[in-house]
Structure 1
Amino acid sequence: MMYAVEFEVNGEKRALQVRAADILLYSLRDSLGLTGSKSGCDNGDCGACTILIDNLPMKSCLMLTVEANGTRMTTIEGLTNSPVQHAFVRNQALQCGYCTPGFIMNGEGLRIVNPHANEETIRAWLESNICRCTSYEEIHRAVKEVFSSKES
């Protein structure tokens, strides 16, 4: 059985026909061509699939597409001129880049939800994502820079 879902992705209204068991990550990648969110673990541990749903970070591998019906989503492709993205570049906060979209989306979510986050909050927020190349200090420095600059 197929279900009709409608949501807004990166400012654009989208509609899909999906099965009840379809995972949001794969609907974004396979049906909408938004491949910035990555499949790293498929069980919510790594955060490579993080997107914003109604401005909150969500691991899209843990959400059914039907659960996203009526929401407003932002993927890495939808960020334009993001201070978090700029800080990642300035701080060379990546190595292989696989985890980068998830970390950026997580940092962007923190910037929206808590624009005055302190050091402790930033560290706790970033714990939900994994970087296998161990660029944690550069990633932390990049996100921290956003909160200590006037750019946020």
Structure 2
Amino acid sequence: MTNPKQTLLVNGKNFTLDADPNMPVLWAIRDIIGLTGTKYGCGSGLCGACTIHVDGVPMRGCLTSLKQVAGKNVTTIEGVAADSLKAKWAEHNVPQCGYCQAGQIMSAAALLTKTPNPSDTQIDEAMSGNICRCGTYPRIKAAIKATVADTAEV
């Protein structure tokens, strides 16, 4: 049986895919479209490595099907507008192994879009679904706070 064509809007560009509508969007992004910044971690939505934005809301790409994102704007780490945040990430030496970093940045970017000056509690809550095996949580929080401080100075 042939799958119906799926149209997926990723980072502002339309892609027509011959894929099962129940396919996780993570696989479409990585294996069909070829954007490999979004990582597969646990496959259960627990680690956050596969975090994408769907109409600006962070979601787990491993649990979100193509049919769930039909007609919506999907943003990946390759398309997120977070240059200041990414710069602070590097400045604070956040990445060690780097595997979780795309998901971490996606969650942090969504937080800063929704709450431009988050409290420590809001940062902790927004980032709680992202696991870093290297334990760089203090540096992650410092990078988020530094991004807020730089934004406030502008």
* CA contact 2:41–2:49 (8 Å) conserved in 1: yes
- Which residue of structure 1 lines up, in the alignment, with residue 74 of structure 2? 73
Offset at 1:35? 0.6
Equivalent residue of 1:138, what SS?
A: helix
Aligned-pair distance for 1:104?
A: 0.4
Amino acid at match of 1:149: D
CA distance in 2, matches of 1:84, 1:77: 14
For structure 1, list consecutive stretches of 5 or more residues without a partner in the other structure.
none
1:112–1:80 Cα change, 3 Å = closer
Q: 1:5·1:70 contact (CA, 8 Å) conserved in 2?
A: no
Q: Using the alignment, how far apart are the partners of 2:70 and 2:5 within structure 1?
A: 9
How large is the Cα RMSD of the aligned pairs?
1.6
Does the 8 Å contact 1:3/1:66 carry over to 2? no
**Residue 88 (structure 1) aligns with:** 89
Using the size of structure 1 for normalisation, the TM-score is 0.93
Scaled by the length of structure 2, the TM-score of the pair is 0.91
Give the Cα separation in 2 of the matches to 1:35 and 1:121: 29
Match of 2:112 in 1: 111
- Deviates further, 9-18 or 124-133: 9-18
Residue 42 of structure 2 is matched in structure 1 by: 41
Cα drift, residue 81 of structure 1: 5.5
Provide, for residues 96-147 of structure 1, a one-character-per-residue CA deviation record: whole Å limited to 9, x for no partner: 0000000001111111122222221011111110001111111111112222
- Equivalent pair of 1:56/1:113 in contact (CA under 8 Å): no
Amino acid at match of 1:74: T
Question: When the two structures are aligned, how many residues end up with a matched partner?
Answer: 152
